[in-house]
Structure 1
Amino acid sequence: MISFTMDQLNGWIGHFLWPFMRLTGLILVAPVFSHGAVPNLVKIGLAFLLTVAIAPAIGNIPHIDINSWEALLVAAQQTAIGLAMGFVMQIIFTAVEIGGEFIGLQMGLSFAQIFDPANGANTAVLSQFLSIVTTMLFLVFDGHLLMLSALVHSFDVLPIGLEVLDRNGWGVVIQWGAAIFSYGLLLSLPLICALLVMNLAMGILNRAAPQLTVFSIGFPVTLISGMLLLTSVLPHSGAYFEALFQQGFETLDHLISGLAGH
């Protein structure tokens, strides 16, 4: 007859529960996994399957009574770590969407809106297009696998326990969040400069030949030129996206080290 005590049962549950909380926090916020088109049940099921695969490789999990206040504190702590890690990677996609907003505003496409299921709100068409391109490149570069690998590595640097997280780690998230506008502007800068020169040329043309209805021809010329420029610039932007992903993973490493107090 097989018998076990409540302490053993608490240990078995905790060995899977605490990694599950960190994984759930990551999947709820991280790009690709957190997409609005993915049902919540699928996200929870994916977190459970990943926990079953990862938990046996995690050592030194402290014994914490799941019916205590300490268990609630550890669960909140692990969820916060996963949310912070997912948020760091999600900032990359937000920066790309902001770059699309800048380009669309300069091209005259700022009024073209489409419903984005990921954000649950209307988004500029160009931002949605660049977001899809970024998602495809993220998968091609195995970004989703590297992100899960970083989470597994976080259990070594930041083990499960009752230790208070260092506030310097949250400072890393704040500093990385401030980079949204700069990276978005760098992405859109070539097209913004070219379209700005074109608008200046249209203004000079309006002064030189007032009989031309610049306001009538300006919009289609700017739109067509912007699409041609985007078609020529986007195929050469792979290195920029790769560097952006690399910067995101480096920030992820700094986050984990900062929360651990290293």
Structure 2
Amino acid sequence: MLGFGLSIEPQLWALIFVMIRIGATFIAAPVFGNVSVPVTVRVTLSGAIGFLVLAAHPIVPPQQIFAVSTILSAAAEALVGLALGFVLQISFAAPMIAAEVIGGAMGLGFASSIDPQNGKSSPALGQFFSIMLTLLFLSVDGHLILIDLIVRSYDVLPPGAAWIGIERLKAIAFFGGYAFLAGLLLALPVGFLLLCLNIVVGMLSRAAPALNLFAVGLPASLAVGVVTLAIAFPTMGDYMLVIVREGLSATENLVLG
């Protein structure tokens, strides 16, 4: 079919074509897209899931490899995969926003470390939230749900007609606002108390100008922030589960409409 005279070639080409969407999803999705996950592991998982897709769906790849229609079909597959992973990545950005709000109020904005999600420097508190959200995502089998959505996406968006419509792109854009809303709600318990503390410290600095503001305000902010985080973290953990479910729900809506 494609030349070279090999009988296994059509099946191999079909598997490679299916792996485009799956691999693009793993590049953009959290957990799978971590820089700590080797490329070999991603390719192996893409191939294994590709076998499942070929067994469940009669995928017919383009007849010619080097053709404009084939390039457009591959671009459409990559777009669908990136969209699936990007929606989940948006929900994983909410803890980073919450960490920026809380860390700035606590005076921990200078404390940063390498985030295993993307390999870049991020606030230490944000890395802690990100790890907790990843553990919650795995605890509710979010990775298995994502794989199931990838396989089911071939029913709704089959190869050859996989361009995402305007309505789906609009839904992705509007879901981006949810990351800011969820981040602010996640930081609300701690951020509100720190705001009240800053107001009190500001009143004290006006009442007693000779008072060393940094000697009093910074230790108080750190102490109140740590205690409030310890008290409010069970509630914050429950809301992180809500964030995970909202991200999976948005991904399902993207696939099923």
Instruction: Tell me if both proteins adopt one fold, taking TM over 0.5 as the criterion.
Output: yes
Partner of 1:182 in structure 2?
181
**CA distance 1:242–1:117, change in 2 (3 Å):** closer
Structure 1: how far apart are the matches of 2:187 and 2:171? 25
Partner of 1:76 in structure 2?
75
Tell me the matched-pair count. Answer: 254
| Alignment map for 1:51-70 (pairs within 5 Å) | 51-59=50-58, 61-67=59-65, 68-70=67-69
Letter in 2 for 1:168: E
Structure 1: how far apart are the matches of 2:232 and 2:72? 49
The runs of 5 or more residues in structure 2 that have no matched partner are: none
| Alignment map for 1:19-38 (pairs within 5 Å) | 19-38=18-37
- Alignment deviations for residues 142-181 of structure 1 (CA, whole Å, 9 cap, x no partner): 1111111111111111122246432221111111122221
Partner of 2:235 in structure 1?
236
| Alignment map for 1:1-262 (pairs within 5 Å) | 11-59=10-58, 61-67=59-65, 68-162=67-161, 164-258=163-257
Question: For the Cα contact (< 8 Å) 2:92–2:133, is it kept in 1?
Answer: yes
User: 4+ residue runs of structure 1 moved beyond 6 angstroms?
Assistant: 4-8
Question: For the Cα contact (< 8 Å) 1:29–1:86, is it kept in 2?
Answer: yes
Question: For the Cα contact (< 8 Å) 2:76–2:162, is it kept in 1?
Answer: no
Shift of 1:17: 2.4
Shift of 1:184: 0.9
The runs of 5 or more residues in structure 1 that have no matched partner are: none
Identity %: 34
**CA distance 1:163–1:29, change in 2 (3 Å):** closer
**CA distance 1:150–1:62, change in 2 (3 Å):** same
Shift of 1:7: 10
- Alignment deviations for residues 217-257 of structure 1 (CA, whole Å, 9 cap, x no partner): 21011011101111111122232122212211221122224
Structure 2: how far apart are the matches of 1:227 and 1:143? 30
Structure 2: how far apart are the matches of 1:164 and 1:136? 33
- Alignment deviations for residues 102-145 of structure 1 (CA, whole Å, 9 cap, x no partner): 11011110111112243232111111111011111111111111
Letter in 1 for 2:77: Q
Structure 2: how far apart are the matches of 1:158 and 1:7? 30
